Structure 1
Amino acid sequence: MDFSQEYLNNQVWEDQPLSFGLPMQILEDGREIKAVTYTEPEGHVLFRLYAPGAADVVICCRYSRGHEIRIPLKAGTDGLFEGILPNREVYGGAQVVRVFMDQQEILSPYLPVCWVGNRPANFIEIPSAAGEDICIQAVPHGAVVREIFWSETLKSFQRCMIYTPPGYMNSEETYPVLYLLHGGTCNELDWIYSGRLPYLLDNLIAGGKIAPFLVVMNNGMVRHEQTQAVWDDALEQMLVRDNIPYIENRYRVSTGKWNRAIAGLSMGAYMTNDIGFRHPELFGYMGQFTACMTHKKDFPNYKRPYHKAMAEAVQNPEAFAGNYKVFFRSTTPEEDYFEYFEADDEICKNAGIDKLPCSYRIVFPENTSKIDSWRMGLRDFAQLIF
């Protein structure tokens, strides 16, 4: 695939949690270089890492379905190591990269840093056909706000991030709210930088494709006992008892279930199903970007509500449609657990949900990366709610 120079020069590729621009490496001769550039017009990724004294440097890029490509970098005479990741559609989006110097994994200060795997990790943004949606455009931009609130449920302070749409600060309007959940081992920053949510929604609002709304992003990794890796209802209780009241007391938002939506990717899709099905009185819209009623195992002392919701849908499908104006599911064949989505298809079919007007199902084209599919799922879901 070919990309325009304008697209490859968009600043979104350099926006990262620590900086609005990629760090520069300073060589011994005083030259300054970027660690990542894009060869034109194909959008291949050129890695340049300065490692004088290293014998070998290898970049490993993880992408869909747990695959990883290794890129041994070629050593130059000036301490620079270079290598190219050829652009493929399945690599598109924000992908985690691991850097090995002399067989030792390091966190490179010259590549963007995110939070995944419950730790800091390097990542890069790889151009893709879906990237136009998240480019920084000459349109009004919303704001991202950090809030610290007390959770009586968890007996601790918690942090959430809030996207407010363009014009929010200077208006007296009230807005609906999407509570958006991230994937496993990430945190409340994930949708901002990996998902590029602010730019995506800014562009949709400017194009008249969606009505403005707020987005609240919490840390989905909270647990009643933080040493436990298994799911429990800590996020659900914290969201319902602490976070939603906090948001509705502090921000100009419309209340009632038809002004609240809940959605998420991967682990966040699992939690969306659980919270949305358990609280139809709170949420009128549900979005799952990978879907996840099905899971390889259930967790001890944690009862999932979708079984009851599906049984009730069989008896009274109109009641299900009355509870949710939108029940949205999307994925890509490149998703790590695509078979879960297919199993959810059978669950929805058996319950008759697939025939209801509130039901939306999208499988994005083959070779769509899972990162791109999450962004595209949010893009399409946002145009259906409120």
Structure 2
Amino acid sequence: MKKLSLLTIGILLCLTSFAQQALWGGTPIVSPEVHDDYTVTFRFKAPNADTVQITGDFLPTEKIKTPMGLFDGPGKAYLKKDANGIWTYTSESLKPELYGYSFIVDGLKSTDPNNAFLIRDVATVTNIFLVGGGPGGLYKVNDVPHGTVARRWYDSPGLNMKRRLTIYTPPGYESSTQEYPVLYLLHGAGGDEEAWMALGRLSQIMDNLIAEGKAKPMIVVMPNGNVTQEAAPGEGIRGFYKPQFMEPKTMSGSYIGTFMDIINFVEKNYKVKANKENRAIAGLSMGGFHSLHISRYFPNTFDYVGLFSPAIMPNANVQSKVFDNFDSTLKAQMDNGYKLYWIGIGKSDFLYKAVADYRAELDKMGMKYTYVETDGGHIWKNWRIYISDFAPLLFK
């Protein structure tokens, strides 16, 4: 008994030591520090480093070479080292927004060890910080009633698997007897059912818009658009693996053709208004592609459609019945009537010309739409703005 007690005490001491190490082992450095004038100071301790840079979406863009060509990407700036080996950089005054950044230490990219807040975009992890006020105020957790976010598994007979999606229900849903309209909100290539929550700040945006009376209370369904994935990386039976930008068969048409599996699950399990007038679909990039084709392929299903920086057509080698009769199904969608067909894109987006060509086709056939053009490119900053502007227009 005595030996057992000594062993127990030893284990507790080790655990206490480990806990204290986790709590007190870091350097007491504040980074990032958002000042009253909206400038932000970043700090990184590396006394033996030769250079430390910061890269982030708050810096002027620079051209980045990719397999698809040159695109605008986050710029870089150099930090200055003091006598204690702490490198510092202070930004210009920033507009209210959610920003991401990383450090580059002697050429090696690093997260900020003093900032515990990170998000994943495809396979890249970056730190984030929020400058509040203005549009940034929508992305904050404010003192307002909050909705509920759930991860649900549903059966997809069309894809022959159980799949995972994320659902936002508005404040008061659980205790209410009323039925709600539904927005189906789709992610882009490399994303999954977590993308709009983590990168898009969807729940914060909806809570704040509803509290301000700018948007009607609605359910928002965020499915996984990668048909070979049953769930986001690390959340399914495939376990932990490196995410990739484009999963197999992602734009093959199979997600489009089986989308009613998702609608059927939602309308069976949630208090919804199950009709065209109370359904909306929207998505970014690949999700814009999916929204365009789902709403066309099921031409009497959605009264509201949002295309955020959308890809337009599949690769020419893709063969699927869902892409047949494109013009006639689009005309059927137009003839059936709808309340809003909304298109938004950034002026420097690499999909800008494809969207301009698609708009010309809509103009030719007389299909009415709302068009919004913003600064910037193919970035989450724009997509957060688009959903913030689109949601208040729904279900009026």
TM-score (norm 2): 0.76
If asked which structure has higher relative contact order (CA below 8 Å, sep 6+), I would say 1
Q: Percent identity?
A: 27
Deviation at 1:203, TM superposition (A): 2.0
AA of the residue aligned to 2:286:
M
**In 2, distance between residues paired with 1:288 and 1:222?**
20
Partner of 1:285: 304
**In 2, distance between residues paired with 1:139 and 1:368?**
32
Partner of 1:134: 139
Deviation at 1:249, TM superposition (A): 2.0
Asked if 1 retains the 8 angstrom alpha-carbon contact of 2:299 and 2:330, the reply is no
Deviation at 1:146, TM superposition (A): 1.4
Partner of 1:148: 153
- The total of aligned residue pairs comes to 346
Deviation at 1:262, TM superposition (A): 0.7
**In 1, distance between residues paired with 2:307 and 2:33?**
34
**In 2, distance between residues paired with 1:35 and 1:224?**
36
1:324-360: CA deviations, max 9, x gaps? 2211112232434322332222122112113xxxx22
Asked if 1 retains the 8 angstrom alpha-carbon contact of 2:309 and 2:346, the reply is yes
1:114-173: CA deviations, max 9, x gaps? 221x32411424538532333333221111111123333334432211111011011111
Partner of 1:171: 176
Show the 5 A alignment for 1:323-362.
Answer: 323-354=337-368, 359-362=369-372
AA of the residue aligned to 2:255:
L
Unaligned runs of 5+ in 2: 1-21, 62-70, 231-245
Deviation at 1:238, TM superposition (A): 4.6
Asked if 1 retains the 8 angstrom alpha-carbon contact of 2:289 and 2:312, the reply is yes
Residue 147 of structure 1 aligns to a residue whose secondary structure is: strand
Q: Of the two, which has the highest radius of gyration?
A: 2
| Structure 1 stretch displaced more, 126-135 or 182-191 | 126-135
Residue 349 of structure 2 aligns to a residue whose secondary structure is: coil
**In 2, distance between residues paired with 1:96 and 1:144?**
23
Equivalent residue for 1:245, pick from 264, 267, 273: 264
Unaligned runs of 5+ in 1: 1-24
Equivalent residue for 2:382, pick from 357, 373, 376: 373
AA of the residue aligned to 1:211:
K
AA of the residue aligned to 1:385:
L
**In 1, distance between residues paired with 2:335 and 2:29?**
56
TM-score (norm 1): 0.78
Residue 383 of structure 1 aligns to a residue whose secondary structure is: helix
Partner of 1:124: 128
Deviation at 1:53, TM superposition (A): 4.2
Give the 3 Å change call, closer, same or farther, for CA 119–224 of structure 1 in structure 2.
closer
**In 2, distance between residues paired with 1:344 and 1:88?**
35
Show the 5 A alignment for 1:66-77.
Answer: 66-77=72-83
Equivalent residue for 2:165, pick from 160, 166, 170: 160
Partner of 1:263: 282
Equivalent residue for 1:32, pick from 28, 36, 47: 28
Cα root mean square deviation, aligned: 3.2
Equivalent residue for 2:40, pick from 34, 38, 45: 45
Residue 353 of structure 1 aligns to a residue whose secondary structure is: coil
